[in-house]
Amino acid sequence: WLDVPLMDDFDEEFTNETLFIPAVLLGRLQPEKVRAFIVPNDAMLEKQICEGDIVLIEEKLFPRDGDCIVAVIENSRAVLKNFYRDGAFVELRPSNGNYETIRLAADLVEIKGIYRGLLRPLV
């Protein structure tokens, strides 16, 4: 079992809280680069990612276009969206038509990591 730092919608940084997960779930990922994020809404519903799910992300600062990422925008809130570059801007696109694309100057978006896995709490 590994302890993974947990980030929620209200934290800009990862908290001291940890989530214990089986090491086998990480595959070839380096455990020290894996973080967990509680999904704040249904913006990624078409990718089968729902509000309240916990996604595992790999700390990586430079995603490719189309990667699903966790980012902090304008130093105020964390989001899970699809990443696209557009010159000096970044577009964070949802996978749900009920949510808007966020388009911001690249310096207002802090990439926290790239989506690598999903944990769904039992209800």
Report the alpha-carbon distance of residue 14 to residue 9 in Å, rounded. 10
77-86 and 89-93: which strand pairing? antiparallel
Looking at residue 10, its pLDDT comes to: 46
Fill in the amino acid letter for 47.
K
Using CA atoms, how far apart are residues 10 and 72, in angstroms rounded to an integer?
10
State pLDDT tens for residues 92-121. 999 999 999 999 999 999 999 999 999 998
Let me know: does 73 contact 112? Beta carbons within 8 Å.
no
Is the dihedral angle over the CA atoms 49, 51, 53, 55 positive or is it negative?
A: positive
